[in-house]
Structure 1
Amino acid sequence: MMQLDSKFMSKLDEHTPRLLKRFHSKGGSMGLKLQAILLMAPSNPRIDMSRGLVIRCLMVYLGESTDQLLKEYDDPDKDNVSQDLVAARMTIYRAKNNATEDIAM
């Protein structure tokens, strides 16, 4: 048996430089959408932030809707995170604490 989440993340990290290069090279309306996502990253993003950006860009690149897969919560205690996760088949969620620092992804 292997841990799929760690395998996925290691492969994502391995392909991130090539994916980012591809995203930066796209033009047209898709390129504008990708650039809007990529501009959200600070100059030296943490690994979890880079992974989140690459996943978002990959979904746009593949023409998938991010609304069904990605959820963000400003206050996980008040936003009913557990209820949303029970109803979802697969979700990537990000919760922020009061200092607006990511605490999960």
Structure 2
Amino acid sequence: MFASGRTVLLAAVAASSRLVATRTLYTGLLPWTVGRVAGGVATMRQPWAASITWQRGFKVRSSLKKFCKDCYFVRRKGRVYVYCKANHKHKQRQG
């Protein structure tokens, strides 16, 4: 009926390792995680959102035109594109 101290300790370690494994699997699926910084203060961080750099898409137009002296035409994939080294808002695609 009574368990020895060693058996209780092993049962406690096994139970805690199951909890840790379950917790890490569950938190890995969440879009955010709780991180720790020096001093034990919890902070919220989004590892995938911080690494996203947004890029400008093409404006789709039937009639393309240059907006500045740095814009230039390129023909690729059977379409005409306008690229600009100075201002990426000027990117256009023939539609």
TM superposition score category, shorter chain reference: under 0.3
TM-score normalised by the chain length of structure 1: 0.19
The structure whose Rg is larger is 2
Q: TM-score, structure 2 length as denominator?
A: 0.20
Q: Which has the higher strand share?
A: 2
Structure with bigger helix share is: 1
